[in-house]
Amino acid sequence: MKRFFKISESEQLLSLHHKSLAQPTSALTPYSLAFTKSPAYPSGRNTDGPSAGTSRSVYELFIDKFSLAVDNRGRQILEEKVSRLADTLVLHADDFDKVAGVLEESGRSLLRRYNDGSAFLELLKILGRSSPQFALEVFNWRRANADWGIPLTSEEYARAIALAGRVKDVVLAAELFYEASNSRIRTTAIYNALMSVYMINGLADKCQLLFTELKREPSCAPSVVTYNILISVYGRLLLVDKMEAALQEAKDLNLAPNVSTYNNLIAGYLTAWRWDSMEKIFQRMKLDSVQPDVQTWLLMLRGYAHSGKLELMERTYELVRDHVDFKERPLISAMICAYCKSSVPNKLSRIEALVGLIPKEEYRPWLNVLLIKVYAREGCLERMEKSINEAFERQTIVTATGVMRAITGGYFKYDAVDRLANFIKRAETAGWRMCRSLFHGKMVLYGSENRLKEMENVLSEMDNVNLDCTKKTFYILYRSYSLWDQRDLAKKIIGLLYKRGHGIPADASLS
């Protein structure tokens, strides 16, 4: 029997299994929001693929919903039986011979009792929550024993294809698809399952080719799930026109868009930075009496944050605050960025409140640098230095000239020349970007305090970091010498300016 992997920690797996049972399986995490590496649409314009543990919820969005052919009481009994079987299987997960024995003893009778495949489908669903690889091993056992007179169903194949996609085994997913096809088990659900695997693993061309094949298949036709996948593919590729054409094609086939359809459209417009289109499709969703879900609000929240529509962002945040605060840290960062770019009153207090939601261990270098810049521009010297110190401690290296200039301005507002000088030394040692504004700011402050010798020493410091003197450098020297009535030194600077072709200050006196 083909083995997909080996489990060595069966008890840990059982714990994961029980933990997954205790949680709802709804797809609340938007694929654009994790838009971290498990997004259907990543943040901004990046197109990172899914992480090794691509969110189960991503696949749930694009898998056909299979209903068990039993009543509510029968469903409950089935689920209880399958759950007990799953517990036993997980206990022996590190020894597949024992797993096979349990399946032979208990699985065979369960399959015969529910010969429509509903029991095994439920088993794959439960095991797949905590370990899709183990679920695939169990499915492989089912494949090897399909000669009991209980053939595999299209729903079982579709679930297994989705599981293969979750472990990023695209080859296995395609193998299962063509195995089902060769067995004359060709359904829309199987096509959708493989299309979703291609989509989430970044194989857009294969996904589109499979869609074309589905449309030529006489035994089945595209469903709304099919078009949801296609819309998602086009959205990822920023092919807005094709995304809209897919929506129209679905409507022409009298396939009513559902909440997932609209979420994919919103995510596509968001990825393309088409804010007006994003808002229009959201309004169309409401006109079509399709109720937004948590996914919808999270996508809109990100869109409002990126587009700087703070009032709408804040209203939307209130709707999903509890979910965002505990489960969507990237969205918190997006809102912080929105406030940093704005000029709203009390923006620092709002930023501080959001920053407080991010645990210290989840340090983000880019966010810390952004806070340094904001605090500098707002004249918050103490908070700026606190963020600077954290950056030094975390060995974050700043290379943006704009940030360094902002820091210079932050110290300049408070005439804090000694603190600026200390910062420059530390920044140079840490490998931060050295720019003239740092040294010019220090020269101006030294000059204003009549610390002319220290001002002159800055010229040597500039030379040490390969920064030449410019017209502005000489003007600073001239103004400082003139301020403190150092006429001879001021005349020398005038001479240097004239010699270098910079001209002389309008108020210069040669007498």
Distance CA 306, CA 226 (A): 29
Residue-level pLDDT at 62: 62
Task: Write down the pLDDT at residue 205.
Answer: 95
What percent of the chain has a predicted confidence (pLDDT) above 90? 62
Band (147; pLDDT cuts 50, 70, 90)? low
- For residue 390, what pLDDT is reported? 95
Residue 447 has pLDDT above 70, yes or no: yes
Mean pLDDT of 79-87: 86
Residues 199, 210 contacting (CB under 8 angstroms): no
pLDDT at 51: 36
* Annotated domain spans of the chain: 1-221, 382-468, 470-511
Average pLDDT, the chain: 84
pLDDT the model gives residue 113:
81
Q: What is the pLDDT of residue 508?
A: 66
pLDDT, residue 23, reads 39
- The number of CA neighbours under 13 Å toward the Cβ of 194 is 28
Average pLDDT, integer, range 233-243: 95
Under the banding of pLDDT at 50, 70 and 90, the label for residue 315 is: very high
| 496 vs 62, more confident | 496
- What is the model's pLDDT at position 381? 95
The stretch 384-397 carries a mean pLDDT of 96
Averaged over 217-231, what is the pLDDT?
94
Q: Which of 408, 409, 344, 399 has its CA nearest to residue 366?
A: 399
* C-beta of residue 221 within 8 angstroms of C-beta of residue 250: no
Q: Show contacts of 261-265: CB within 8 Å, 24+ apart.
A: 261/224, 261/227, 261/228, 261/231, 262/290, 262/292, 262/296, 263/30, 263/61, 263/293, 263/295, 263/296, 263/299, 264/40, 264/228, 264/231, 264/232, 264/235, 265/231, 265/235
Kindly report the length of the chain: 511
Do residues 248 and 213 touch, judged by C-beta distance below 8 A?
Answer: no
Cα 114 to Cα 107, 126, 276, 352: the distances in Å are 10, 17, 51, 57
Contact 413, 379 (CB under 8 A): yes
The band of 71, judged by pLDDT with boundaries at 50, 70 and 90, is low
Tokens of 164: 């293969």
Residue 95 has pLDDT above 90, yes or no: no
pLDDT at position 262 over 80: yes
Alpha carbon of residue 452 to chain centroid: 52
Q: What percent of the chain has pLDDT over 70?
A: 85
- Provide the pLDDT for residue 106: 79
Q: Using the structure block, give the residue that is written with the tokens 């040294």.
A: 439
Over residues 221-238, the mean pLDDT reads: 95
pLDDT digits (tens, 9 = 90+) for 103-133: 888 777 777 788 777 888 888 998 888 889 9
pLDDT confidence band for 37 (50 / 70 / 90): very low
pLDDT attached to residue 361: 87
Residue at 465: amino acid letter: V
**Mean pLDDT computed over 284-304:** 95
Q: pLDDT at residue 337 above 90?
A: yes
Give the lowest-confidence range in 91-105, 314-328, 374-388.
Answer: 91-105
pLDDT tens-place string over residues 319-336 = 999 999 988 989 999 999
pLDDT, residue 243, reads 97
Residue 70 has pLDDT above 60, yes or no: no
pLDDT at 7: 36
User: What was the pLDDT predicted at 40?
Assistant: 35
Q: What is the mean pLDDT of residues 90-105?
A: 83
Q: What number of CA atoms fall less than 13 Å from residue 473's CA on the CB side?
A: 20
Mean per-residue pLDDT for 144-173?
87
pLDDT of residue 345: 85
Q: What is the mean pLDDT of residues 14-32?
A: 37
Would you place residue 66 in the very low, low, confident or very high pLDDT band (cuts 50, 70, 90)?
Answer: low
Span 209-218, average pLDDT: 94
Please determine, for residue 509, whether its predicted confidence score (pLDDT) is greater than 70. no
Q: Are 166 and 56 in contact (CB under 8 A)?
A: yes
User: How large is the average pLDDT for residues 286-315?
Assistant: 96
